[in-house]
Structure 1
Amino acid sequence: MSRVQTTKRKTSFICFFFVVWYTTYYFMNNNIFSSEKERLTKIRLSSSLTLSSNTLSTIYNNDNPLEELNMRFCGQTTCKFLFVYDYGEQETKANLHFRSFSQLAEKLNRTMILTNVGSSQINICQNYPFDFYYDLKLLRQEFPNVIYKYEDDFYLWLKIRDEIKKKMNYKKDNEIIPPLSILHSHLRRYDITTETIYREVKPVVSLNKCLSKFEPFMNLVDPKNSKVRYTIMDIAKSDIRPRAKPEFSELLVESLTTDEEIMLVNSFVLEALFPKVMPAIPYNDYILNEAQKLKDKLSSSYIAIHWRLEQARPELLPECAQGLIKTLKRVMTEEGIENIYLATDYPLLSSKSQSDTFKDITNYHHEAIRMLNETFKINTWVSLGGLEDLRKDKNYHSEFVGPGLQGILDKLVCIDANYFLAGSFGCSRILSTFTKSIEDERKDKIRNIDSGILNTIDRWKIIL
């Protein structure tokens, strides 16, 4: 080998090592490698991939660095990911869907990416890591056979893989690493079809612009970077009913059993995908502690009201308020309860409602809430100082404009109320997954005679 060729190789190696060092330095200083620093105020969040500069050096010096990276990242020589980047609904339903896809990840033997959260949603456009809402330790206990990785970890895997690819493909005598192999699939409940159909479709740039956050290391329009296959599954409503679900879930697993490294999924299914519905993902301890503080401030007993004003008939709301006031007076007298807690989508911090879908707020809505406040002392998560430290931090401002953490707090406080009231037809949205989840939890708790829970759910009557 000539001295010129040797010098070129040495220069190439030095440049490559500098890139590795810089990557390590960058991610360590952005808390991706370190689990000792707090990434959110008073909330300990950590990345699940911990790599030091020595570890990276070991990876790159291995005879097959890509296999070494995969072994360290997902425990296998070839990583296969399931990345559901949009769960399609607000937190209560998204929580259900995440569990379904965890079951799917286990069936497919795929590492599951923990999609970001925020604004009461689970999707990649949100600002906060998965454990801003959820307890990852307890989730892993529920699904011990599933490997979970954060979005940040996935980005790091893409970046290191790209560097390995460039290095190995530069050496003509080594194995060539191909572009990323990706299946991009859209799962949707499709009510106009009588049978579930899974089919290939023409390439689309993306179903979500926020996927671009993983560029340039995952570029869906560059065939030299990523080879993408696109599919859609139109799921018949009848196929996700309880009796048909076992057969449907087998079809789902069979259809999505594939060799692609990365499975990107956009989901809007509405129902659980498997016959066994797993328990709700537990919330992060700081949320549970915050909910307990609110319950403590409500003293020994309280009535909780969930009044979702969306889909109420506005002109009926003053009469609805009268009916609620009458019901509250009766319950407070009969049960000796003095405190009231209101969970609502009515604006509490700004002029914007606490629901993305509730936009038309009228004088009728304002009048109903005014009547309630003039009759009783009404406590809310705001008046009781819920999440005060986070609300003061500008980094979380968007979380409190519209839906967000406060919905989880409301749910937890309502679940443990001594008495629970929800709106009736005309006064409220009746088909609410949020209300149903509270009712279901209370059904379990009321079996304990020491729980202090007096009912599961009552709906107050309108006074006409």
Structure 2
Amino acid sequence: MDAEIKRRLRSAYIFVLKQPSSRCRPRCFSHRPCRDSRFWLGRMLVNRVVVVVGEEMRRWHRVVMDGHLRSRYRVLPRSPLFRDVSPVKQRRRCSLRHLLASLKLVILAAIVLAILSSRLPSSTPLASLPTRTALGRVLPSGLRPKLRKTPLVDRRIFQQLAELEVEPDPDERPYFSPNEDLQRMPLVTGIPENHSKKSDPEQFHCGLLPCRFLLPLRIGEQESKARLHFAQIIHLAHQLDRTLVLPNVGKSRLGACFKWPVNAYYNLAEYNSTLPSGRPALIKADTFRHWLRSQPARETTGRSVVVSLPAVVEEDPVPAEMALEIRVGTDPTDDLPSCFDHKFDSIDISDYPPLYITATAPFPGLAIHDALKPPILDDEEQDPMVLMLTYDLRNVIFEQPLPPLRYASNLHSLAKEIAPSAPYVAVHWRMETLEPNGLPNCAHALVDTLAELRERQPDLDRVWFASDYPVPLKTIARANNAPENTNSNKSCTFRDAGALHAEAIGIFVNAFAGLDGRLAGMELLELTEQAIIHANVRVGLEAELLRDAGVRGILDKLIASKATVFLAGGMGCAKRSSFTRQIVDMRLPMEADGKMENANIVDYFGSQ
């Protein structure tokens, strides 16, 4: 038995040594694959010995049991010719391994070819990537990559972000004043706009003289005052003999970075004339950008000019010869808006340092003109082609009155469709920046004034209410309710409406409710989304433009200007604003035309 076990162990050792390598070469300890496999050969040897010993133990047990049973039951012994065969197969075939490896390579090559042959159309930027359908056809379910659809962001998200934007009140603190210590996150430099491909931009020709432009990058304050500043800038461009690049408009502001062209707010037909030099007086922003792209590289030079108020206004009058303080900056990119690199990247601003002009006296228009005109008229190198103006003043710069800008004819038509039929009363109540404690008393004063008007003129049964309060009147159920989150787009700066504001509006609204209210029977109206949509069926303005805060303010202004009676808040109950002043100016021609019978220019409620 011991000799048989030794023989079997020797055969097991020889069997392990004869195992082929991964490359089916003879086993040799000097061969590198063999040296790398010594550990695994040792494990194979141990496993083989365990198998052999186990087989021999089981065989010995069977022999002993077989002899015991045969002697007990008197069974003849087994034939010596019978021989057990070990269940361990000792044959290995390299040819089979080669066959399996080749089959794997063929399957892998077929999968790769199928993926490479399944591509997107070559016109798309993702043409080199396989489609989801192609991968599903050639790959098993367990090997298919989990492709997810690329998330898309449309332009509607920008409207939602704009509603969350908080802007400072330009009447209370500087909005565009330079601040060298400003720390902020990087700004988005450009957002692609939806351009119409139906018509190409107009071709622009400067005439016989070199092209000279005045480009307003930003104009401080909201639409009512920005409208006045824009008229001043038009006159300044005329004085400088420069073609004015029309700014864009949006969110009740004017500047180069907004979405809508300026004719969405204003009608500039009367200003579209020719300068004395023969240059066109005005040029559209898109036409100017098209002209910039047609110019040779680095040929269009520009200089940034920032015109602003001083940090501290002196009480004593300043002599006319000291009306300006001029400071030369160092970095030409300072105070440029975020869209400059995207829209006006072809303007070379490296040759001219920026100018910071501070107006320290009233009516500094002539002084600004003298500061911006070229020192030597015949030296074109000292005169940049484009003056990029950042305008942050609060008052007019020219003493002589200028004709006001007329609003767009489409907005006049839309306001006519929305306005109630005459006669009606228009009320403008600006509550922002007022002391809230006095607002409830002002609301009672407004109710008293309307009640007196109805006693004198019973046919005044409709009240048009224009205010910067950010909650629609239809949502006011009772007094003392808190303001709700709403998308009224009435003001871009009034974000601090509190309980006293809500109480004042509640007092006013409840006067129209039920049969016991002092103004019961009168209809309270305001600019609503439904009214705009219904009236726009005949006008056909773009739906996104109608949601703009500037457009809605202009509509309120036009409707109030046509009212039979106009009421505004008195001193202490409302802020005297350019909004009210412009409504009064638009109502003055009614008196000259003899249309003021049973009407007024303006009356005030509350204390004077």
TM-score, structure 1 normalization: 0.72
For residue 192 of structure 1, the aligned residue among 307, 313, 336 is: 313
Q: Report the counterpart of residue 424 of structure 2 in structure 1.
A: 302
Greater CA drift, 365-374 or 103-112: 365-374
1:316 Cα deviation from its structure 2 partner: 2.4
Q: Report the counterpart of residue 531 of structure 2 in structure 1.
A: 385
1:219 Cα deviation from its structure 2 partner: 5.7
Task: List per-residue Cα deviations over 1:14-66 (Å, max 9, x = no partner).
Answer: xxxxxxxxxxxxxxx9447827xxxxxxxxxxx5x24xxxxxxxxxxxxxxxx
Q: Report the counterpart of residue 457 of structure 2 in structure 1.
A: 335
Q: Report the counterpart of residue 443 of structure 2 in structure 1.
A: 321
User: Is 1:249 aligned with 2:381?
Assistant: no
Distance verdict in 2 for CA 1:410–1:109, change over 3 Å: same
Q: Which runs of 5+ in 1 are unaligned?
A: 1-28, 36-46, 51-71, 166-177
Task: List per-residue Cα deviations over 1:90-128 (Å, max 9, x = no partner).
Answer: 111111111111111111111110000011111122110
3-state DSSP class of the match of 2:592?
A: coil
1:332 Cα deviation from its structure 2 partner: 1.6
% same residue: 25
Task: List per-residue Cα deviations over 1:250-308 (Å, max 9, x = no partner).
Answer: 3221111131100000001112222222221111111000111123xx22211110011
Distance 2:328 2:574 in 1: 42
Q: Report the counterpart of residue 44 of structure 1 in structure 2.
A: none
Cα contact 1:182–1:229 (8 A) shared by 2:
no
Q: Which runs of 5+ in 2 are unaligned?
A: 1-193, 375-382, 473-485, 513-522
3-state DSSP class of the match of 1:73?
A: coil
Distance 1:143 1:361 in 2: 48
Cα contact 1:199–1:231 (8 A) shared by 2:
yes
Q: Report the counterpart of residue 375 of structure 1 in structure 2.
A: 511
For residue 605 of structure 2, the aligned residue among 453, 460, 464 is: 460
Distance 2:205 2:417 in 1: 39
Q: Report the counterpart of residue 140 of structure 1 in structure 2.
A: 272
Cα contact 1:348–1:382 (8 A) shared by 2:
no
1:457 Cα deviation from its structure 2 partner: 1.6
Distance 1:126 1:315 in 2: 37
Task: List per-residue Cα deviations over 1:172-210 (Å, max 9, x = no partner).
Answer: xxxxxx543212100112253643222322224231222
Distance 1:348 1:202 in 2: 47
Aligned-partner residue type, residue 400 of structure 1? R
Q: Report the counterpart of residue 88 of structure 1 in structure 2.
A: 220
Q: Report the counterpart of residue 207 of structure 2 in structure 1.
A: 75
3-state DSSP class of the match of 2:439?
A: helix
**Bigger Cα Rg:** 2
User: Is 1:448 aligned with 2:598?
Assistant: no
1:442 Cα deviation from its structure 2 partner: 2.3
Aligned-partner residue type, residue 332 of structure 1? R
User: Is 1:346 aligned with 2:469?
Assistant: yes
3-state DSSP class of the match of 2:601?
A: coil
Distance verdict in 2 for CA 1:139–1:121, change over 3 Å: same
User: Is 1:424 aligned with 2:570?
Assistant: yes
Distance verdict in 2 for CA 1:97–1:388, change over 3 Å: farther
Cα contact 1:301–1:339 (8 A) shared by 2:
yes
Task: List per-residue Cα deviations over 1:201-256 (Å, max 9, x = no partner).
Answer: 22242312222222542364xx4xxx3321011101xx32xxxx3xx433221111
Q: How many residues align?
A: 371
Task: List per-residue Cα deviations over 1:298-332 (Å, max 9, x = no partner).
Answer: 22211110011112222322222111111101112
Aligned-partner residue type, residue 203 of structure 1? D
3-state DSSP class of the match of 2:256?
A: coil
For residue 230 of structure 1, the aligned residue among 354, 379, 382 is: 354
Instruction: Summarize the alignment of residues 236-275 of structure 1 with structure 2, pairs less than 5 Å apart.
Output: 236=360, 239-240=361-362, 245=363, 248-258=364-374, 259-275=383-399
Task: List per-residue Cα deviations over 1:149-194 (Å, max 9, x = no partner).
Answer: 12111211111114xx4xxxxxxxxxxxx54321210011225364
User: Is 1:214 aligned with 2:343?
Assistant: yes
Task: List per-residue Cα deviations over 1:335-388 (Å, max 9, x = no partner).
Answer: 231111011111256256622221111122222223322323311121771355
Distance 1:373 1:364 in 2: 14
Q: Report the counterpart of residue 580 of structure 2 in structure 1.
A: 435
User: Is 1:158 aligned with 2:309?
Assistant: no
Distance 1:388 1:370 in 2: 28
For residue 181 of structure 1, the aligned residue among 296, 301, 307 is: 301
Structure 1 vs Structure 2 CA RMSD: 3.0
Instruction: Summarize the alignment of residues 361-372 of structure 1 with structure 2, pairs less than 5 Å apart.
Output: 361-372=497-508
3-state DSSP class of the match of 2:490?
A: coil
Distance verdict in 2 for CA 1:262–1:117, change over 3 Å: same
Task: List per-residue Cα deviations over 1:397-429 (Å, max 9, x = no partner).
Answer: 48636x320111111111121111111233222
3-state DSSP class of the match of 2:352?
A: strand
Q: Report the counterpart of residue 359 of structure 1 in structure 2.
A: 495
Distance 1:332 1:143 in 2: 53
Aligned-partner residue type, residue 325 of structure 2? I
Distance verdict in 2 for CA 1:384–1:449, change over 3 Å: farther
Distance verdict in 2 for CA 1:293–1:310, change over 3 Å: same
Distance verdict in 2 for CA 1:209–1:219, change over 3 Å: farther
